[in-house]
Amino acid sequence: WNYLAKNSNISWLTGGMENRIVFVSEEGAVKLIVLKDKILVLTNNIEAERVIKEEGLDKEDFQFIVNQWYERDLLDGLIKKYRLGGDCYFPEVNNLQEEIKQLRFSLLPEEIKRYRILGKETSKIVSKICKNIRPGETENEIRARLAQYLWSKNINPHLILIGSDERIFAYRHPIPKDKKIRKYVMVVVCVERDGLIVNMTRFVHFGLLPQELKEKLYAVAKVDASFIINTRPGKKVADIFIEGIRTYGEVGYPDEWKFHHQGGAVGYET
């Protein structure tokens, strides 16, 4: 039996439930205990009715256990009743988060369909924002506009980075500032809907593109393509990484990979 508390695992197991209440929290409205023949949904009287009506958990497989918000958490008693493994550090619960993560690595056809839709919608929004950026705007103004468009499509931004001009070259993670844009902008998003996460980066340049930037654009595209081409079912992550590093050398930047991590598995976490 498994106890699931993390929003990523709950979205995965329920087929996309929105469990998050506080954006910065890993846990949300409900916790789940997965038994052989049913799933126990642990929540309180504040959340129960909304979750049943709006999050699609009014199915036979889900059995709600609801306590009053001011009462002692029900988990203590259930731990004594069931021998639990789980996705968090909790007394008397065997932490199985790494094992649970492996179950999420292979997406089902329905998940892949949702993923592609999210990627396409995110790309349209980011492209629209990028095409309307103008010199003189601040990085924070672009962040605000981007967040508004994303939320209007029920897409939750987990991360928005906007860097311009010299900040692009100085910092790997340029948190948006009130700096005015002159000629060059980088837009980075990490967004989520129904538990699935999409990452995206776009660049905007005003005026004639310098030769140096053209060459760097080609180099980074070739490295990116190497990682993508080598990311195939059955291939070891270490082998994918080695191929990417080899391509860095081919394009003339053999040590560049040392200055930033090279990504990794994505899906319900990033």
In this predicted structure, the answer to whether residue 90 has a pLDDT above a threshold of 90 is no
- CA-CA distance, 222 to 20, in Å (whole number)? 37
CATH number at residue 79: 3.40.350
Tens-place pLDDT, residues 143-197: 999 999 999 999 999 999 999 999 999 999 999 999 999 999 999 999 999 999 9
Contact 133, 185 (CB under 8 A): yes
CATH number at residue 124: 3.90.230.10
Q: Which residue, 85, 104, 123, sits at the end of a domain? A: 104
Q: In the predicted model, what is the mean pLDDT of the chain? A: 93
Structural domain boundaries enclosing 268 = 208-270
Instruction: Report residue 88's pLDDT band, with 50, 70 and 90 as the boundaries.
Output: confident
Residue 121: the pLDDT is 99
In this predicted structure, the answer to whether residue 39 has a pLDDT above a threshold of 80 is yes
Q: Are residues 189 and 120 in the same domain?
A: yes
Q: Which residue, 181, 206, 231, sits at the end of a domain? A: 206
Tens-place pLDDT, residues 63-79: 999 999 888 777 767 77
Q: Are residues 247 and 220 in the same domain?
A: yes
Residue 127 DSSP label: H
3-class secondary structure per residue, 145-211: HHHHHHHHCCCEEEEEEEEECHHHHHCCCCCCCCCECCCEEEEEEEEEECCEEEEEEEEEECCCCCH
Name the burial class of residue 32, with classes exposed (0-12), middle (13-18) and buried (19+) by CB atoms within 10 angstroms of its CB.
buried
User: Which residue shows structure tokens 């629209």?
Assistant: 128
Tens-place pLDDT, residues 236-249: 999 999 999 999 99
Q: Which residue, 166, 181, 206, sits at the end of a domain? A: 206
Q: In the chain, which ranges are E strands?
A: 2-6, 27-34, 39-44, 62-67, 85-86, 94-95, 156-164, 184-193, 196-205
Q: Are residues 99 and 12 in the same domain?
A: yes
Whether pTM exceeds 0.85: yes
Q: Are residues 111 and 97 in the same domain?
A: no
Instruction: List, in order, residues 6 or more apart from 186 with CB less than 8 Å away.
Output: 161, 162, 163, 164, 168, 174, 201, 202, 203
Q: Are residues 136 and 94 in the same domain?
A: no
Q: Are residues 6 and 100 in the same domain?
A: yes
- CA-CA distance, 119 to 96, in Å (whole number)? 30
Residue 213: the pLDDT is 95
In this predicted structure, the answer to whether residue 59 has a pLDDT above a threshold of 80 is no
**In total, how many domains does the chain have?**
3
Six-digit token pair at 71? 């009462």
Instruction: Report residue 58's pLDDT band, with 50, 70 and 90 as the boundaries.
Output: confident
- CA-CA distance, 157 to 149, in Å (whole number)? 10
